[in-house]
Amino acid sequence: MSEKSPADEVRAAIGGLLPRLRRFARVITRHVADADDLVQVTVEKALTRADQWRHGSRIDSWMFGIMKHAWIDEVRSRGRRGRVHAPEEAGATVGDNSAAARDIALSVQAAMARLPEEQRLAVALVLVEGLSYKDAAQALDVPIGTLTSRLARGREALQALLGDEGGVH
Amino acid sequence: MKYADETLMAYADGELDAATRAEIEAEIARDPGLARAVERHRALAARVRGAYAAELEEPMPARLASLADKPAAPVADLAARRAGRRIGAGRWQLPAWSALAASLMVGLFVATLVMRGPGAPYEDVDGVLVARGELDAALTNELASRPASAGVSIGVSFRDREGGYCRTFRLQQESPVAGLACRSGGDWQVRTLAESAGQDGEVRTASSMPLAVLQAVDATIDGEPLDATAEASARDAGWKSSD
Closest Cβ–Cβ partner in A48, A77, A106 for B75? A48
Tell me the C-alpha distance between B41 and B3, whole Å: 14
Q: Within this chain, do residues A72 and A39 fall inside the same structural domain, yes or no?
A: yes
A58 and A132 assigned to the same domain:
no
For residue A105, what pLDDT band results from cuts at 50, 70 and 90? low
Pairing mode of beta strands B152-159, B165-171: antiparallel
Same domain, B94 and B83: yes
* Contacting A residues, span 105-164, partner chain B, CB-CB under 8 Å: 105-106, 108-109, 112, 123-124, 126-128, 130, 132-133, 148-149, 151-152, 155-156, 158-159, 162, 164
Q: Give the model's confidence band at A142: pLDDT under 50 very low, under 70 low, under 90 confident, else very high.
A: very high
**Do A69 and A129 fall within a single domain?**
no
Tell me the chain B residues in contact with residue A151 when contact means C-beta distances shorter than 8 Å.
9
Domain contains A101: yes
Determine the distance from the C-alpha atom of residue A2 to the mean position of all C-alpha atoms in its chain, rounded to a whole number. 34
Q: Flag whether B241 is in a domain.
A: no
- B52 vs A contacts (CB less than 8 Å): 23, 27, 105, 108-109, 124, 128
C-alpha distance from A146 to closest chain B C-alpha (Å) = 12
Query: What's the CA gap between A99 and A131, in Å, rounded?
Result: 29
% of chain B exceeding 90 in pLDDT: 26
- Per the CB < 8 A criterion, the answer to whether A59 and A13 are in contact is yes
**Same domain assignment for residues A74 and A102:** no
Local structure of residue A122 (DSSP, 8 states): H
Tell me if B68 and A127 make a contact (CB, 8 A cut-off): no
Q: Per-residue pLDDT tens for B89-118?
A: 333 333 334 444 444 433 334 434 555 555
For chain B, positions 199-228, list CB contacts with chain A under 8 A.
214, 217-218, 221-225
> For chain B, what is the domain count?
2
Q: Would the CB atoms of A73 and B78 count as touching at under 8 Å?
A: yes
The HSE-up count of residue B61 (CA atoms within 13 Å, CB side) is 28
Long-range Cβ contact pairs of B30-38 (< 8 A, separation 24 or more): B33/B1, B34/B1, B34/B2, B34/B3, B34/B8, B37/B1, B37/B5, B37/B8, B38/B8, B38/B11, B38/B12
Cα dihedral A87, A88, A89, A93 in deg (nearest 10): -170
- Mark whether B49 and B83 lie in a shared domain: no
Measured between alpha carbons, how far is B211 from A96 in angstroms, rounded to an integer? 29
Domain range spanning residue B12? 5-56
Residues from chain B that touch A108, judged by Cβ atoms under 8 A, are 47-48, 50-52
Q: Is B142 domain-assigned?
A: yes
Count of structural domains within chain A: 2
Chain B contact present for A49, CB below 8 A: no
Residue B94 has a pLDDT of 32
pLDDT bin (cut points 50, 70, 90) of residue B7 is very high
- Interface predicted TM-score (ipTM): 0.85
Q: What spatial distance separates the first Cα and last Cα of chain A, rounded to whole Å?
A: 60
Predicted pLDDT of residue A64 = 97
The alpha carbon of residue A51 is apart from the nearest alpha carbon of chain B, in Å, by 13
pLDDT range class, residue B216, cuts 50, 70, 90: confident
Substitution target from A32, A107, A161 for chain B, most B beta carbons within 10 A: A32
- Cα–Cα distance, B240 to B229 (Å, whole number): 16
Q: Are B178 and B102 contained in the same domain?
A: yes
Condensed to tens digits (0 to 9), the pLDDT of residues B171-202 reads 877 667 788 999 988 899 888 887 776 433 33
pLDDT value for B170: 84
Answer yes or no: do A76 and A115 share one domain: no
Mean pLDDT of chain B: 75
- Using an 8 Å Cβ cutoff, are B97 and B110 in contact? no
Same domain, yes or no: A63 and A109: no
Residue B215 has pLDDT above 70, yes or no: yes
* Torsions phi, psi for A120 (to 5 deg): -60, -45
pTM of this prediction?
0.56
* Among A85, A107, A140, residue at a domain's last position: A85
Statement to judge: residues B44 and B144 lie in one domain: no
Do B42 and B71 share a domain, yes or no?
no
The C-alpha of A1 sits at a distance from chain B's nearest C-alpha, in angstroms, of 24
Asked if residue B92 and residue B43 are part of one domain, the reply reads no
User: For A11-64, how does the pLDDT look when each residue is reduced to its tens digit (9 = 90+)?
Assistant: 889 989 999 999 999 999 998 888 999 999 999 999 999 888 888 889 999 999
Is residue B134, in this structure, part of any structural domain at all?
A: yes
For testing the chain A interface, which of B75, B166, B204, B241 should be mutated: the one with the most A CBs within 10 Å? B75
Residues contacting A72, CB < 8 A, separation 6+: none
Answer whether residue A91 is part of any domain: no
Pairwise CB contact (< 8 Å): B44 & A37: no
**CA A63 vs CA A27, A135, A154, B23, B153: distances in Å:** 15, 11, 22, 36, 29
A60 lies in the same domain as A9: yes
Domain extent, residue A5, equals 1-85
How far the first Cα of chain B sits from its last, in Å, is: 52
Chain A residues touching B233 at Cβ < 8 A: 96
One domain for residues B50 and B114: no
> Edge-to-edge, what's the strand order for the sheet holding B122-125?
B122-125, B128-131, B187-195, B177-184, B165-171, B152-159
Distances (CA, A) of A73 to A135, A169, B76, B214: 22, 35, 12, 22
B63/B60 Cα distance (integer angstroms): 8
Of A23, A52, A85, the position where a domain reaches its end is A85
pLDDT at A91 over 60: no
Q: Which chain B residue is nearest to residue A7, measuring alpha carbons?
A: B72
Is the CB of B64 less than 8 angstroms away from the CB of A22? yes
Inter-chain CB proximity B61 and A36 less than 8 Å? yes
Residue A92 within any structural domain of the chain:
no
For residues B40 and B68, state if they share a domain. Answer: no
- Closest approach of A49 to chain B, Cα-based (Å): 10
d(CA B226, CA B233): 10
Domain boundary among A85, A118, A138: A85
